[in-house]
A and B are shown apart, each in its own frame.
Chain A
Amino acid sequence: MTWDTIVTASPTFILGLPLLFAFLTTLVGRFSKRLGKLLFGVGLLLTTFFVGVMSYQVLTDGSWFYVFGAEQPSPENLLSFFRITFVADGFAVLATLTIAITALAAGIYSYSFMKGESGLNKFYTLFLLTLAGVNGMVLTGDLFNLFVWFEVTSVASCALVAFRNYKGKSVEAGLKYMVLSTVGGLFVLFSIGLLYGQYGVLNYALLREGITGTFIDKLALGILVVMFAMKSSSVPMQMWAPDAYGEAPGSVTPFIAITSMGSLFVLFRLLFGVFSVSISPAASGSILIILGVLSMIVGVTMALVQSDLKRLIAYLSVSQIGYMMMAVGVGLATLNTGEYESFGELAMQGGLFHMINDGVYKALLFLSAVAVVHATGIRSLNELGGVAHKMPYTTFFFLLGALSIAGIPPLSGFSSKLLIYKSVYLYSPILVIIALVVSIITLAIIGKAFFNAFLGPNQGLVKNHISKTMLLSMGILTAVLVLFTLFPNVVVTEIVSPAIEGLIGSFEGVLP
C-alpha cells in the first residue's frame, strides 16, 4: 500500500480510526487504565492527522469521491455510485477541520477534568464514537450512511451528556436529547424511504439528477430540513440544547455543541447538493433565514436572563447558529440568480467562515467557563465573583472568546460578521439591523458574565487547581483563534472558498 492509496482513502481513516480506537480503549483499558488513556490520545491525534492529510490533498489537488471496493465514479462508471461513497471536497474539509479542532481541544481537556470520575474507559469510547459519527455524517455521500452515522452520533452523544449518571439532571438532559434525536432520526428514515421509493437511489449525486420536485419530494425536504434544524438547535426547537450543554460533563460540552453544528453542515449539504436543482432554492433559503433570525433573537434574549454560566453560553451558541443559518440562507435564496454573483457568494463566505470561527471561539468560551466552574464548584452567576485574581490565564482565554463571540474588532468573530453584514444588507437591511442588535445584546451578556464571574473583589472562591493540560487545550484553541484573527482573508480564500465550490458543485457533472 503506497502513500497515494492512503491519501485517497483518508476519508475512511477519518471515521475508521476513531471507531477502531473507541473499542480498543475499552478492550485495553480492562487490563491497563493508563494504556487505555494513552490510546484515546493516540486515536484523537491520528484522526486529526488524517484530517490534515485529506485537507492538504483536497486544497492542493481538488476533490474526489472515495468508493469502497470500486473505482472512482465517472460518467462511464456509474455503478460505483451504488456502493458506499464518501465525498472528500472542500466542504468536507471545512467540516472535518472544525470538528477536529474542537475534538482535540475537548479531548486534551478531558484528561485532567474527568480525573475524579469512574468508568473513564467508557467515556473515551463514547467520545471517539461521537467523533466517528459526526465525521461520518459530514463525509458521507449517500442517505443510507447519513442515517447510520446520524444515529451513531445520537446514541453516543446522548450517553456522553448523561455520563455523570449520579446526577439526576444529567440523565434527564440526556433522555430529552435522546428522545428528540430518535424521533428526528425516525423522521429522517421516513423521508429517506420517500425518496428511495420514488427514485430507487440513495446517492446524493444520483438523487440530485433524479429529484423532480413532486409532492412527495417536498414532504421529504420539509422533514429533512426540520429534523436537521432541530438537531442543530434552531429555535423553536432549541430547548434540548441548553439542558444538554448545561448538564453534560464540562469538558465535552463544546464537543456536544459541535455535533449540532455537524447537523447544520449536513443540512447545508442536502439543501445545496441534493435539492437545489429541482426545488426552488429561494423558498428553502427563506426557511433557513426565518429559522436563523428566530434563533438569533430568541437565543440571545434568553441568554440575557440566565443566571447559570453554562446555560448562558449555551443560549449564546443557539444565537450564533442563527447567524450561520441566516447567512447561508441568503446565499441559498440567491443561488442561480444574478444576485448570487453580487452578494450571495459573499454571504456564503461569511456564513461558512462564521461556522469554523464559531467552532473555535465557542469551544474556548465553554472550556474557560468550565474551568471556572471546576475551580470554584459554583455555576450560578449570583454567587461567583472575583475569580480573575486567582485564574489570570483562564480570564484571558475567556475574554478572547467572549470578545470574539460578540464580534469586537480585531478578533475573528468580527471578520466573519462583517462579511455577513455587508452581504445580507444588500438582500434585506432589516435582517442586518436585527443582526446588529443581537450582536450588541451579545456584548451586554458577555459583559455581564465576565463582570459577575471574573471581576470584583477576591472572595476566595477558587478551591481547585487548574491543571496544565487544561491550559494547554485552551492554548491550542487560542492559537487557532489568533491565526484566524490575523489572517481572515487567507482562511476565506484557502478554506472557505473551496468549501463553497464543493457545497454547490461537488455532485455536478458526475452524470452524463
Chain B
Amino acid sequence: MIDIGIVLEDMWSPIIFIVIVLLNLGLAYWLFKMGDPTYNKTEHSGEPFISGNRPPEDVRKIHVAGDNLFWGFTDALKRYFEPLIEGHTGRLNDYMYWVVITLAVVLVYIYLVV
C-alpha cells in the first residue's frame, strides 16, 4: 500500500501550504467584506491610469512591448550580453567549433584530474 504522507524531507508539505493559503484568502475575503459596500462604479473606472495623462487612443500603445521590459537590466550588463548574443552566430562551423573545443577541454580536464 502506498503511504500518502504529506511531508517531503521533514520540511515541505504542499497540502499544508495550500490549506494555509486558502485560510489566508478566506481572511482577506472577510476583510474585504467588512469594507464600504456603497462604492459605485463611475464611467471611467477600470481604465488605465498613466500619471493623469489621457491614455492613447490606440490600445496597442498602452501595452509595453517585449524588448522594453528589463531594458535597464540588459543595458547595464551590455558587456556580458553582447558577446553571448553575437556568439550565437548561426553559422554551422561555429557550432562545431564549440563541440570540438568542449571536447578538448573536457579531455584535458579528465587527464589532469582523474
Contacts and interface: CB of A to CB of B under 8 A. Distances in A.
A284 B106 CA distance: 10
Interface in A265-321: 279-280, 283-284, 286-287, 298, 301-302, 304-305, 307
A226 B107 CA distance: 9
A369 B16 CA distance: 31
B16 to A, nearest CB: 9
B67 A382 contact: yes
Give the dominant DSSP class at B's interface. helix
A452 B64 CA distance: 7
B6 interface: yes
Nearest to B62: A457
B106 to A, nearest CB: 5
**Most chain A Cβ neighbours within 10 Å, of B7, B8, B74, B96:** B8
B8 A488 contact: yes
B113 to A, nearest CB: 5
Contacts of B113: 283, 286
A324 B3 CA distance: 27
B99 A489 contact: no
Interface stretch (B24-32, B34-42, B77-85): B77-85
Nearest to B114: A283
Interface string A469-511: 0000000000000000111111011100000000000000000
B45 to A, nearest CB: 15
B103 A418 contact: no
Chain A: number of interface residues, binned into ranges: 35 or more
A221 B110 contact: yes
B109 A485 contact: no
A399 to B, nearest CB: 15
A222 B106 contact: yes
Nearest to A353: B8
Given A184-B99, A301-B80, A452-B66, A283 B110 contact: yes
Q: Which 5 A-B pairs have the closest CB atoms?
A: A381-B66, A456-B63, A410-B14, A385-B63, A457-B59
20 contacts: A175-B92, A179-B95, A223-B103, A226-B102, A229-B102, A236-B98, A237-B95, A239-B98, A279-B114, A287-B109, A305-B74, A307-B67, A346-B9, A380-B66, A381-B67, A410-B17, A456-B62, A458-B59, A489-B5, A489-B6
